[in-house]
Chains A and B, each alone.
Chain A
């Protein structure tokens, strides 16, 4: 064989081998995810712009915008007050209480002090899982700093709002003093908030995020913890008002949910089936003050088998949160039909202390992937037609009132962002 034909053969063989190169599923999925994430940033920015053009200031929009220097040259009281409110909006991300504070101020130029805003954060930190890794610690550190910032700003707000109701000539002096005091804090706050957003974004971009835990705090807040499957845990969600649980009453953690038109939807009945089970174990003679404070997930280990939802409750009336009342219960769901596969089962694990409980839950975690969690949990969290494709969906709340929804619709996996303040819903990305 001469070298010419040999070279042709080599080229032909090379071509055959090269044709066998195909993008792996991993690569396809990762790239699609990145495309969607990159794209997701654009609509959100557009949304901000669109919202900002409207007359009514939007808390979330304002807070995410870069710091606006407050012009002391503005002579109009109204203009200055509007400017101040925009500044104040930068401080309202810490808690739902703060959001209310802002909204109330907007309506009546007066506001009730909010003593719980920092307390809730402290409660949250105290309840954070001890096994949380650096990601959680970083996030909580940022959040704590944000809470501190707000705590510093809050008296100023209150003083100003009081001075503005009704407006007097002295009000303007208070306004000027408040602006001056807030200016450096605002910058710091926005930096912290930006940092927090990045931490949340980093989490949302994780491939194999799982819903790890949901913690209901006695102060009426809900935290959802999600982990990325490598033991790194982060709490991204807070702000749901907890409805006190009483015997034979379903838990209806009312997540702020608005449809595209701003109409409030049906409350999500987060723990209905849970309390149904728990209540069977309660004594009719006793008075309980149950607080559902935890839920987790359990996998039966069989291929394609059932998933379990595990809820825990404490009798906060006895002030013994470490001595759990009674309560773990679960129900099996088929991933295929998304319906219960059997009647509710009830298992009572009495006298587990918190550490043992956490260990028990930890053992359940590795079997889960995020999608599985969505399938499992979603029947309880339906949103009444907001997302008409959302047979299976779960909502995550962030501090600023934004809710994220994961929806599995056939083969498609949607990720939505709902702005609870103005009710807009944006699809963030379509994961493979």
Chain B
């Protein structure tokens, strides 16, 4: 693809693609790497790609790269999400960090569709296309994510109450 088009896409979509990758990895550096790689790969993509296909292509590529990253030996050598404060790089408030940590406890396969749908506002169809999974699978994973999130929040509330009693 022509560089000008890639640069245009970069200026328009970089934040969106970065966030998508971040929803998968929960790590800013990794998300940046995946985003950067996605745009570099766009350069090698066909120039015939229609304009409205560019963002879905970028999102799908970045998300796949982010998934690969999670599977990679490099990531497995590092620490798990629970063990690591992964949000230190993003200047979130303590409250935001706790929320982020909570959501990140969701399994990746349900967390990503949920984030794309509820946080980023993509439709079920768009999310299905990005993730290369059937529409029905997206819907069921989102249901599972919400259910799991309810359990987690319930558990967290109970824990907080217990801690409150201890003090």
Quick check: A34 and B40 within 8 Å, CB to CB? Answer: yes
Give per-residue flags for B31-45: 1 if the beta carbon is below 8 A from chain A beta carbons, else 0.
Answer: 010011001100100
Q: Chain B contacts of A28 at CB under 8 A?
A: 10, 14
Please give me the residue from chain A that is nearest to B38 by CB atom: A31
| B interface, over-half SS | helix
Binds B, one of A4-12, A200-208, A233-241: A4-12
In the assembled complex, the Cα of A23 lies from the Cα of B90 at a distance in Å of 10
> Are the CB atoms of A7 and B43 closer together than 8 Å?
no
What's the Cα separation between A115 and B114 when bound, in Å? 73
Q: Is the CB of A35 within 8 A of B157?
A: no
> Any chain B CB within 8 A of the CB of A13?
yes
Task: Return chain A residues, CB-CB under 8 Å to B35.
Answer: 23, 27, 31
Contacts of A20 in B (CB 8 A): 92, 96
Q: List residues of chain B with CB within 8 A of the CB of A18.
A: 19, 22-23, 100, 115, 119
- Interface residues of B, count at CB 8 A: 37
Which of B7, B15, B92, B150 lies in contact with A4, CB distance below 8 A? B150
Residues of A within 8 A of B28 (CB): 21
> CB-CB < 8 A to B153: which residues of A?
3, 6-7, 10
Say if the beta carbon of A39 comes within 8 Å of chain B: yes
Residues of A7-60 at the interface with B, using a CB-CB cut-off of 8 Å, are 7, 10-11, 13-23, 27-28, 30-32, 34-36, 38-39
* CA distance in complex: A430, B11 (Å): 14
Residues in B with CB closer than 8 Å to A11 are 103, 114, 118-119, 146, 149
Contact A14:B119 (CB < 8 A) given known A7-B149, A27-B36, A35-B3: yes
B154 at the interface (CB under 8 A from A): yes
Chain A interface helix/strand/loop/mixed: helix
Within 8 Å of chain A (Cβ to Cβ): is B99?
yes
> Nearest chain A CB to B3's CB is how many angstroms away?
4
Q: Which residues of A contact B43 (CB under 8 A)?
A: 35, 38-39
Residues in chain B near residue A32, CB distance under 8 A: 7, 10
Q: Which residues of B contact A34 (CB under 8 A)?
A: 36, 40
Taking the closest CB of chain A, its distance from the CB of B159, in whole angstroms, is 13
Contact A35 B102 (CB under 8 A): no
> What residues of chain A lie closer than 8 Å to B40, measured between beta carbons?
31, 34-35, 38
Q: Determine how close the nearest CB of chain B comes to the CB of A130; give it in whole angstroms.
A: 38
Complex Cα gap A140–B11 (Å): 40
Complexed CA–CA distance, A13 and B100 (Å): 9
Q: Contacts of A27 on B, CB cut-off 8 Å?
A: 18, 32, 35-36
Say yes or no: A35 contacts B6, CB within 8 Å: yes
Q: Which residues of the other chain, B, contact A39 by a CB distance below 8 angstroms?
A: 3, 6, 43
Q: Known contacts A18-B22, A21-B22; is A31 also within 8 Å of B39 by CB?
A: yes
A17 touches B99 (CB 8 A): yes
**Contact among B39, B90, B102, B103 with A21 in the assembled complex (CB-CB below 8 Å):** B90
B90's closest neighbor in chain A, by CB? A21
Residues of chain A from 169 to 201 with CB closer than 8 A to chain B in the complex: none
Residues of A contacting B32 with CB < 8 Å? 23, 27
Q: Which residue of A lies closest to B14 (CB)?
A: A23
Specify which chain A residues have a CB less than 8 angstroms from the CB of B14 in the assembled complex.
23, 28, 31
State in angstroms the CA–CA spacing of A36 and B10 once bound together.
Answer: 12
Q: A36 to chain B: which residues have CB within 8 Å?
A: 3
Considering the chains assembled together, what is the distance between the CA atoms of A10 and B146 in angstroms? 10
- The distance from the CB of A274 to the nearest CB of chain B, in whole angstroms, is 38
Chain B residues near A17 (CB, 8 Å)? 92, 96, 99-100
CB of A6 within 8 A of CB of B157, answer: yes
B-chain residues with CB within 8 Å of residue A13 when the two chains form the complex:
95-96, 99
Q: Which residues of A contact B19 (CB under 8 A)?
A: 18-19, 21
Q: Mark B85-116, 1 if CB is under 8 A from A, else 0.
A: 00000101001100110110000000000110
Q: Is the CB of B99 within 8 A of A23?
A: no
- From A43, which residue of chain B is reached at the shortest CB distance? B3
How distant is A318 from chain B, measured CB to nearest CB, in Å?
53
B15 A21 Cβ-Cβ under 8 A: yes
Contact A10 B103 (CB under 8 A): yes
Question: Do A35 and B22 contact each other (CB < 8 Å), given the known contacts A14-B119, A17-B100?
Answer: no
In the bound complex, do residue A15 and residue B119 qualify as a contact, i.e. CB atoms below 8 Å apart? yes
A10 adjacent to B99 (CB under 8 Å): yes
For A4, the chain B residues whose CB sits under 8 A away are: 150
Assess the B99–A14 pair: CB atoms within 8 A: yes
A39 to B22, CA, bound (A): 26
* Complex: A38 Cα to B43 Cα, angstroms: 8
Once the chains are docked, how many angstroms separate the CA of A36 from the CA of B6? 10
Given contacts A17-B100, A21-B19, A23-B14, contact A3 B119 (CB under 8 A): no
Query: Could you tell me the distance between the alpha carbons of A188 and B159 in the complex, rounded to whole angstroms?
Result: 70
In the bound assembly, the distance between CA atoms of A4 and B147 in angstroms comes to 9
**A14 touching B103 by the CB < 8 A rule?**
yes
Shortest beta-carbon contacts, A-B, top 4: A17-B96, A39-B3, A3-B154, A15-B119
Known: A3-B154, A11-B114. 9 other contacts (CB 8 A): A6-B157, A10-B149, A13-B96, A14-B100, A20-B96, A27-B32, A38-B40, A39-B6, A39-B43
Q: Can you list 25 contacts pairing A with B, beta carbon distance less than 8 Å? A: A4-B150, A7-B153, A10-B149, A11-B118, A11-B146, A13-B99, A14-B102, A17-B96, A17-B100, A18-B19, A18-B22, A18-B119, A19-B19, A23-B15, A28-B10, A31-B10, A31-B36, A31-B40, A34-B40, A35-B7, A35-B40, A36-B3, A38-B40, A38-B43, A39-B43
